[in-house]
Amino acid sequence: MPAVKPDPTLRGAVDLAREAAESIAEAGTVGDHLGMEMVEDRVGTHYFACTAGAYPGWRWAITVARVPRSKVVTVSETNLVPGDGALLSPEWVPYADRLAPGDIGPGDVTPKIDDDPLLVAGFEATGDEDVDRVALYELGLGRERVLSAEGRDAAAQRWYDGDHGPHAPVAQKAPAPCSSCGFFIPMAGALRSFFGVCANAWSPSDGSVVSLDHGCGAHSEVDVEAPEPEVVAPPVLDDNQLERV
């Protein structure tokens, strides 16, 4: 693609571009001329600093043009565009994708995803013997779909990296892992080798899925040395001492 030719006529139209910027801007918010760049032949854009307090880092962009063999410059577009360090709104997320874990409240219902890759039909073979055995059993429970291998792996990774995995602060300081705790209930199926459920009311993980190498201070087999009982000496009444009032 050939390079765009420089255009001295458009480059010199700074005053025209400033006048166009001031016609759309709040009074006093068109600052210094920041330069001009060619967009294509006989079309260029002048930039001016925006001094409005609400738009730090933004620029006024005024596009000018001229017809072939003419020295008359006209204004094509006037815009306010972000520059380096401009304050921008968060990236647009479609409404259908805005739901995040933890957003579901009482009465909320999520839409069904027919082609969800995390689920497969209960009778569909996944290639994992343990998963397929569970899936065949689930047919009798009336569930049309069960976790796919991808869904199982995604859940396992999420749990392992979360607050009930080995990297949680409470697990880092735990005296022993969940795998040796009497309150640990192993899961069934393919996840049995990695996870279980905590059944200790004193544990911060009670009722939650925990990894075998998670842990907390409520481990069933760990004890602490009981402190010596505090002895408080009874008060002594000395009748020989007089209190001067």
Q: Residue 235: is its pLDDT beyond 80? A: no
What is the CB neighbour count within 10 angstroms for residue 243? 4
Better-predicted residue by pLDDT, 7 or 140: 7
Domains of the chain by residue range: 8-82, 115-148, 162-211
Give pLDDT tens digits for 20-66.
999 999 999 999 999 999 999 999 999 999 999 999 999 999 999 99
Q: What is the mean pLDDT of the chain?
A: 87
Give pLDDT tens digits for 73-104.
999 999 999 998 898 888 888 877 787 778 87
The per-residue pLDDT for 61 is: 97
Which residue has tokens 């609400």?
A: 54
Per-residue confidence at 137, pLDDT binned at 50, 70, 90?
A: low
Give pLDDT tens digits for 174-229.
999 999 999 999 998 889 999 999 999 999 999 999 999 999 999 999 887 767 77
Structure pTM?
Answer: 0.53
The per-residue pLDDT for 134 is: 62
Q: Residue 128: is its pLDDT beyond 60? A: yes
The per-residue pLDDT for 114 is: 87
Which residue has tokens 């001295």?
A: 8
Q: Residue 9: is its pLDDT beyond 90? A: yes
| Residue 11 backbone class (left: φ over 0; alpha: ψ -120 to 50; beta: rest) | alpha
Per-residue confidence at 112, pLDDT binned at 50, 70, 90?
A: confident
The per-residue pLDDT for 99 is: 79
